Amino acid sequence: MSNDALIAVKPEIAAHALVNAERFRAMTEAAARDPEGFWKQEASRIAWITPPTKIKNVDFNGDVAIRWYEDGVLNASVSCLDRHLATKGDQVAILWEGDNPNSDARVTYKDLHAKVCRLANALRKLGVKKGDRVCIYLPMIVEAAVAMLACARVGAIHSIVFGGFSPDSLASRIQDSACSVLITADEGRRGGRTVPLKANADDALATCPSISHVIVVKNTGGQVAMQAGRDHWYEAITTGEPAECPPEPMGAEDPLFILYTSGSTGKPKGVLHTTGGYMVWASYTHELVFDYRPGEIYWCTADVGWVTGHTYIVYGPLANGATTLMFEGVPNYPSVSRFWEVVDKHQVNIFYTAPTAIRALMRDGEAPVKKANRKSLRILGSVGEPINPEAWLWYYRTVGDERCPIVDTWWQTETGGILISPLPGAIAQKPGSATLPLPGVKPALVDAEGKILEGVAEGNLVLLDSWPGQMRTIYGDHARFGQTYFSTFKGMYFTGDGARRDADGYYWITGRVDDVINVSGHRMGTAEIESALVAHPKVAEAAVVGMPHELKGQGIYCYVTLKTGEEPTEALRKELVAWVRKEIGPIASPDAIQWAPGLPKTRSGKIMRRILRKIAANETDSLGDTSTLADPAVVEELVANRVG
Ligand code: 6R9
C-alpha cells in the first residue's frame, strides 16, 4: 500500500461531524498555543464537586511527577451515572448481549445507578474505604461494570484481572497490590463453554492472605464451594441495600484503578491511573474519535479485563451518556456471523474491535458478513495491534460497504486512552496507518540516541509532553516507573513501539521494539513466559520470541533447553504447552516449542534474541552479524531443526 493511497473524508460525513478538518486544525492550534487553557476547557466535560484551578503540573525528568487538575475534587461514578439521571434516566446505559444469542438485557442509567449504589453500600459495610484495593475477576456481565463503578463510588481502587488468567496470575496480581476484597462469579461463559472462575479464585486465594471478603455473582448457577465468613453471594449482600449511596469525594490525583500489564522485564506492572485526568481523557477521546452522538448505540468488543474495556466500554461511553453494548461472547459462536447479527439485532452505529478478530473472520469470506444488513453502522474502529492493509480494506469494503470511516486507534494501557487516530470527519485515511495525533498530543520519533527525527523518518515512538490520561506511576514502585518509561530517552515518555512517519506526517506503527510480543492484541512479556517455562522441573533454560502468525499477528515461539538427561519427547512438548497455560493462562499458550541443545549467546553470555527472532520467522538467510557469537555451531543446529 503506497503512502498516497488516501481515502478522503466523504463530504456528507464532514458536514455532520463533531470535528471537521477546520475544527481539527483549530483545536490542534489552540492546544499547542495554550495547553493549560485548552485542557481547562476540556475538563468541563466531566462533573466536578470542586472544579480544578491548577491544570497541569508535569515533570518528565528527575523523579517524574505527573499531575493534572490537582486541586479538583470529583467522583468518577457521578460523571458516569448521577449527572445523566435527570435527562437520560430511562435511556439504556448498558445493552448486554449474552454468549447465548437468546439472552440479553437492558440496564437504564437509573437501574445502573441503583445497582452501583447497592453494591457500593455493601462494600462500605464490608469495611472498604477510600484507597483500599478491590480485585475484580469477572466475566463480561453487567456486574463487571457495576463493580468498577461501585469501587469508584466508595473511592476504592479497582484492579481487574482478565477472566482468562490462571489462579497463579490472579494471585500474583492480588498480592502485588494487597487487595482486601475480591469480586468474582461462580463461572463465566464463552463460546458455549464455562470458565471456572470461583474455583480458580479459591486456588489463588490459598496464597492471598490480604483478601478478607469474596463477593460471588451467581451467573451460571454452577456448583461452587463457599467459605463461611469469607464468601458472600452478591445477591444476598446487595439486596436490601439502599439505591442511593453518597459518593466519596476524590482528589483528581487520587487513584481510580490499577491494571496489570506486561513489560519487557520482570513481573507484570501495576499501571496506575488517577481520577480527574483519566476521566477527561476517556470522555474526550470517546466523543471525538468515535464522533459519538447522543442516542447512538456504541459497541466495543473488548473485555473489561483489558484497558480497552475500561476506557471504551465503561468510563468513556458512560461519561458521555452513551448506550454501551457489552458482549459476553466470542466472534465465532454460534456462527461466524455473530458480530453482524448483533449489529443488526441492536442496530449498532459504532463498532470497535481488534485486527485479530477481523483477520479470523476474513478467512470465512464475505458471505457470513453480507447476510447481515449492517446499515446501522456508521463508524468502524480498530485497536490492539497494527492492522495490515489487507485486513483494513476487508473491514472497510466488506463490513462497512465503503460507507464507514475506519478509526485505527493507537494507544496503550499506560496512555489511558487513544493518542493517535484519525477523526472520522476530519482526517483522510490510509489503510494501515493510525494517521495523526489527537489535538494536544505530541508524539515524536527519535533515533537510538534520543535525537528527534524530523520529517519523513522511522524510529522509536515517544511522547514529548504529558496528556491528562497518562498513567501516573507503577503501583508500589515509582522508581520502576521512571526507569521503564523515562530513562531510555531523557525527558520523554518512551512507548516501547517503533513507528515511521510519511510525507503527510502520518504515523505508521511498526510494532514493539522491546521484548514484548502482541498475541491477538494481548500484550505478553517474553520474560514472563520464559520464567514459566524454567519453573518446570525438566527445563534448564528457555528463550521466547514472537513469530509472524497469520491470525494472531504474533505467535509465541519458545526455544527450550532441557536439563541433562531429560528426553525431548512429543509428550513433554505437550506437557510444556499445558504447563504455560496453567502458569499464566490460555492466552500465553506457546505456538511452537523448539528443543534447543544450546542458545545463541554473546561471549558475555547474553542471549542473542535478534537471531532467535529471525529463525522463528524463517528468515534464516538474513541472520545478520553473527560475529559476536560465542559458539556459531549453536545457530546452525537451531536453523536445521526449526519448527513449523
Ligand atoms: C490499547 C491497547 C499496547 C500496544 C502498543 C502497540 C499495540 C495498540 C495499536 C497498536 C498499532 C494500533 N497497539 N493499538 N499498534 N496500531 N492501532 O492495546 O493497550 O494492551 O497496553 O497494548 O499494542 O504495540 O504499544 P495494550
The Cα–Cα gap between 258 and 261 comes to 10
Per-residue DSSP letter, 563: P
Rounded to whole angstroms, how far apart are CA atoms 69 and 87? 27
Average pLDDT score over residue span 552-564: 95
Kindly calculate the radius of gyration of the chain based on its CA atoms and give it in whole angstroms: 24
Q: How far is the CA of 623 from the CAs of 118, 437, 560, in angstroms?
A: 61, 35, 20
User: Is 70 exceeded by the pLDDT of residue 84?
Assistant: yes
Ligand 1 atom closest to residue 511's alpha carbon, by position in its atom list: 24
- CA-nearest residue, atom 8 of ligand 1: 384
Q: Strand (E) positions, 521-608?
A: 522-525, 539-549, 553-562, 592-595
- pLDDT at residue number 424: 97
Q: Does the annotation flag 536 for ligand binding?
A: yes
- Ligand 1 centroid, distance to 412 Cα (angstroms): 5
User: Atom 16 in ligand 1: which residue has the minimum CA distance?
Assistant: 386
163, pLDDT greater than 50: yes
Q: Which atom of ligand 1 is nearest to the CA of 386?
A: 11
Q: Taking the CA of residue 129 as centre, how many other CA atoms within 13 Å lie in the half-sphere pointing to its CB?
A: 1
CB 123, CB 130: distance < 8 Å: no
Q: Which residues surround ligand 1 with Cβ inside 6 Å?
A: 261, 306-308, 382-386, 408-413, 434, 495-497, 509, 511-512, 518, 523
* CA 354 – ligand 1 centroid, Å: 10
Beta strands 193-195 and 188-190 are antiparallel
Instruction: Consult the annotation and say whether 192 binds a ligand.
Output: yes
Q: What is the pTM of this model?
A: 0.94
Question: From start to end of 306-456, where are the E strands?
Answer: 323-327, 350-353, 379-382, 406-408, 443-446, 452-453
Query: Contact at 8 Å (CB) between 312 and 300?
Result: yes
pLDDT, residue 527, reads 87
Is 190 assigned a ligand-binding role in the annotation? yes
What pLDDT digit, counting tens, does each position of 240-297 carry?
A: 999 999 999 999 999 999 999 988 777 899 999 999 999 999 999 999 999 999 999 9
- Is 173 marked as a binding-site residue? no
What is the structure's pLDDT at 139?
Answer: 98
Question: Which amino acid, 602?
Answer: T
How far does residue 384's CA lie from ligand 1's centre (Å)?
Answer: 4
Ligand 1 mean position, distance from CA 445 (Å): 17
Whose Cα sits closest to atom 26 in ligand 1? 412
Which atom from ligand 1 is nearest to the alpha carbon of 496?
A: 25
Q: Which helix (DSSP H) or strand (DSSP E) does residue 68 occupy? A: strand 65-68
pLDDT tens by residue, 408-466: 999 999 999 999 999 999 999 999 999 999 999 999 999 999 999 999 999 999 999 99
Does residue 408 have a known ligand-binding role? yes
Tell whether residue 498 is among the known ligand binding residues: no
* Residue among 498, 488, 145 nearest 314 (CA): 145
Q: Tell me what the mean pLDDT of segment 30-54 comes to.
A: 98
Annotated ligand binding at 335? The verdict is: no
CA torsion 181→187→190→194, rounded to 10°? 150
The predicted-structure confidence for 485-517, as pLDDT tens digits, reads as follows 999 999 999 999 999 999 999 999 998 998 899
Can you tell me the mean pLDDT for 153-162? 98
| Count of other CB atoms within 10 angstroms of residue 379 | 23
Alpha helices of 506-569 — where are they, by DSSP H?
A: 526-534
pLDDT at 4 (0 to 100): 54
CA-closest residue to ligand 1 atom 4: 412
Q: Which of 518, 520, 522 to mutate to test the pocket of ligand 1 (most atoms within 8 A of CB)?
A: 518
At 1 the pLDDT is 44
Question: For residue 116, what is its C-alpha cell?
Answer: 452501583
Neighbours of 5 (CB within 10 A): 14
- 567-614 pLDDT tens trace: 999 999 999 999 999 999 999 999 999 999 999 988 777 788 889 999
CA of 385 to the centre of ligand 1 (A): 5
Q: How far is the CA of 636 from the centre of ligand 1 (A)?
A: 35
CA distance 46 to 71: 15
Please tell me the least confidently modeled range out of 142-146, 336-340, 549-553.
549-553
ipTM of the complex model: 1.00
Contact 426, 9 (CB under 8 A): yes
